[in-house]
Structure 1
Amino acid sequence: MKARELIDRYNQGFRDFSDVDLSQENLSGLGLTAIDLTNADLREVNLSCSTLNEANLYNVNLNTAVLYRASLSDVNLCEANLNGASLIKADLHGARLERANLRDADLTGANLNAVSLVNADLAGANLSCVSLVGANLEGANLSEAFLKGANFDGAKLSGANLEGANLSGASFSEANLSQANLTAADLSRANLYGVNLSDALLCRADLSGANLSNANLNDANLQDADLNAAFLIDAQLGRARLDGANLSKSNCYKAYFQGAFLSRTNLNGANLNGTDFANASLQAVDDDRSPQISHLT
């Protein structure tokens, strides 16, 4: 189908365009609210500045499509293929993208507030300065993604894979990252106030200068993580693994380290006033001769 035929039929009130082939067509600037493009082939299509609010794009193929500044609020993009697509400054608030393929997609500056990206694949995607407030990314793959300055406040990321992701300066205030994989992720200067990182993997993560005040890091694995100058005021680190971690110059005022493992942990210059180290270990966990810190203030 050509763009002209689609426009004519849409203007006549026709809405069901499922299974059509519109690959490489220019559909920029069009108003296509509530259109049904289920299973459609939209490879390399140009939808820049188009309006597709409340459209059904289930399982649509938008491989390398251009959706610059497109309006896609409340759209159904479940299982859609957006591999390599350009969604710069697109408005996707309230959209459903469960199990969607967004590998290497560019979503710079996009509005993804309250979207559902459950089990979506965003490996290598560019989400710098993206707003994901209240979004659901449970089980999503964000490995090696570029998320510098992104806003995840109140988002759900339990079980998400963020290994090697760039999250420098990102905000995760009150977000849920329980059991998330953040191995070798860059979280330097990130806002993690009140975040739930229980059981999370943070091995070799860069958390230097990050705000982890009131965060839940119980049972988290922070082996060899860099927490230099991080804020851990009132943070919960019960039974956390901090072997080889760098907490130099960190602010651990009234932090809770009960039962934590601190072998080779660097605490030089850290503020430990009011810190609770009851039953914490300074040696490897498998060493029965480990000296115990009963309390340190």
Structure 2
Amino acid sequence: MKAKELLERYEAGERDFSGVDLSKENLSGAVWTGDGFGDENDYPVGGAILRGINLSHANLTQVRLDGVDLREANLQGANLETALMTFADLSDANLSEAVLFRTSLSRAILKRTNLKKASLRQATIIRANFCDANLEEANLFETNAEYTNFCRANLKNSKLDICELYCADLSGADMRGISLYFSRLDRAVAIAANMTRANLSRTRLREANLTDANLTDSQGAELDDAILYETIVPDGTMMSNERGKTEINRIVESREDFIKRVEKIDLISSEDFRQRYEAGERNFSGCRPRIRNSRFLLDIDLSRTNCIGTDLTDCIITNANLEKINLQRAKFFNCKLINSNLRGANLRDAKLDSASLINVDLTDADLTGADLSYTRFIGANLTNVNLTDIYMGSEFGYTNYEARFAHTIMPDGSMRNDDLAIGAEEFLRRYAEGERDFSGIILHYADLRDVELRKINFRKAYFNYVDLGSANLIDSYFGSAKFIHCNLKKTKFEHIDGNIGRYYDYGCDFSFAYFIYVDMRQSHAVGTVTSTSFIECNFEEANWDCSAEDIVIYHNVILENGEFFSRM
């Protein structure tokens, strides 16, 4: 069975696909979850039955599998990045070497599941059940595992650094060679766990229970390197060390008060920052602002600020001064960082996956250990940038998730243009030869004025300083495309009647596309703008006759009638 057939049958009401072979299929974004909820704990019901299904090495990014029966399923090597799998039953399934980056597995059942060498980095597995599961050599870096059951699980040589393991049950678990560096095991239970050769450096154990645990040859076997407070140690006695006593005194303070007292800097709460930004303030240089849930940061000065661990997911940052900012361990997933200064910035261990860095200056920045999977650098300056131990997205064999560079100055001074970066001349030649699939291409400073183009797939394409003035683009697909500083004055996105394909039945499709600093005066479009974002655009005398199945974002735009519209 092929992916298309299964999705069509599921849409028609069929639910049982036990034993089906969909290995290596592309099912990205599929929804197999139930449409109702049970009485207890909002358990989803009515989802697909995929028991024993073969999804090995399949692309399952962003799928919805809440409450789905996946017992005994083969998901070896599958890519489940950012999938939603709450309440799913994966008992006895094979997820060895699977990618579950930022996947949600809260309350999922993974009894006896094989997760050997799987990557669960930044996953959410709250209250999940991994009893008797095999997690040998698995990567659970920065995972939230509060109240999670690891009873008798094989965690040998696994990586659980910087994890939240509050009230987790690790009783009888094989934790030989495990790394728990900087993790928090407050009130966790690890009775009779084998922690031989475990790394407990800076691990916080507050009111934990390590009765009969084996700490032989562990780094911190005497628990001197751990943060220990009122914890039951292997011999059954309760113990606190000096680090633990110091830490517990700090716990009664708010994090903001502690940081302000120690660092003596201007600490700005997230609410205060939001109010001041919305009131028009832009200079926050030298402060420590708490930035949360910010959709836009335009024309802002955050130079020399301390923003360690800040979550900038989905944020659009333009014309910003971020010189010498500390963004260590910050999260930039799907962030658009445009025309900004990051000279000397600290981006060590930052998560830049799926981010777009366009026309940014990163001279002398430190990106040691940064995650650059699916990151796009366009017109960027990386002179003298430290790229030691970066994660480029191909470590698990998924070459489509590698970082891409276009017109970018590399640390050694060379100019890098990857295969997706093409010029106007090459693009028009390939189009004339009959090519129509230009998904993911990067057009940079291209002159395409007055051209006529038909039925092109521009999915996830980048248009940076592209002049499309008076061009005619007929029945083309622009899903998730980015238009940055483009000229679309008098451009026509037209539709020709007739059944002409999957993407083009209703004209041009701009779903999930971004238009940032775009001149759209007197342009005309027919199609759909579902979840499309228009930021700093000029629509004067434009006519966009488009439908939308979800919200459309407008921010600082000039409308068709010349009025200015701003929505934060």
TM-score class normalised by the smaller sequence: 0.7 to 0.9
Superposed displacement of residue 231, structure 1: 3.8
Correspondence for 1:202: 215
Q: Deviations over 1:155-213 (max 9, x none)?
A: 11100011101110011000100100111100100111111000000012123431121
User: Following superposition of structure 1 onto structure 2, how do residues 128-139 of structure 1 map, counting pairs within 5 Å?
Assistant: 128-139=141-152
In structure 1, give the amino acid aligned to 2:86.
Answer: S
Quote the residue 2:184 is aligned against.
Answer: 171
Counterpart-to-counterpart distance in 1, 2:162 and 2:77: 24
Match of 2:54 in 1: 41
1:219 CA drift (Å)? 2.0
Distance in 2 separating the partners of 1:102 and 1:31:
23
The residue number in structure 2 matching 1:125 is 138
Question: With CA pairs under 8 Å and 6+ residues apart, which has the higher RCO, 1 or 2?
Answer: 1
Query: Which amino acid is the alignment partner of residue 200 of structure 1?
Result: A
Q: Find the residue that maps to 1:192 and give its secondary structure.
A: strand
Answer yes or no: is 1:186 the counterpart of 2:199: yes
- 8 Å CA contact retained: 1:215, 1:232: no
> Aligned runs of 1:23-102 on 2, under 5 Å?
23-33=23-33, 34-102=47-115
Structure with more strand by fraction: 2
Contact 2:105–2:128 under 8 Å retained in 1 = yes
Letter in 1 for 2:227: N
CA offset at residue 232 of structure 1? Answer: 7.5
- Confirm or deny that 1:212 pairs with 2:261: no
TM-score, normalised to structure 1's length? 0.74
Q: Unpaired segments of 5 or more residues in structure 1?
A: 221-226, 234-297
Cross-structure match for 1:12: 12
Q: Letter of the 2:171 partner, please give it.
A: S
Larger gyration radius, structure 1 or structure 2? 2
CA separation in 1, counterparts of 2:242 and 2:133?
A: 34
Q: What is the DSSP-based 3-state SS (H/G/I as helix, E as strand, rest coil) of the residue aligned with 1:212?
A: strand
TM-score by length of 2: 0.39
Q: What is the rounded CA distance, in whole Å, between the counterparts of 1:56 and 1:178 in structure 2?
A: 31
Q: Note the 1:213-228 alignment, pairs <5 A.
A: 213-219=229-235
Letter matched to residue 20 of structure 2: V
Give the match's secondary structure for 2:4: helix
- RMSD after superposition: 1.8
Number of residues of Structure 1 aligned to a counterpart in Structure 2: 228
What are the Cα deviations for residues 214-262 of structure 1, in whole angstroms up to 9, with x where unaligned? Answer: 0001427xxxxxx9975489xxxxxxxxxxxxxxxxxxxxxxxxxxxxx
User: Per residue, is there more helix in 1 or in 2?
Assistant: 2
Distance 2:83 2:48 in 1: 14
Structure 2 counterpart of 1:153: 166
Alignment match, 2:308: none
SS state of the match for residue 7, structure 2?
Answer: helix
Q: Does 1:2 align with 2:6?
A: no
Q: Secondary structure at the match of 1:183?
A: coil
The equivalent residue for 2:21 is 21
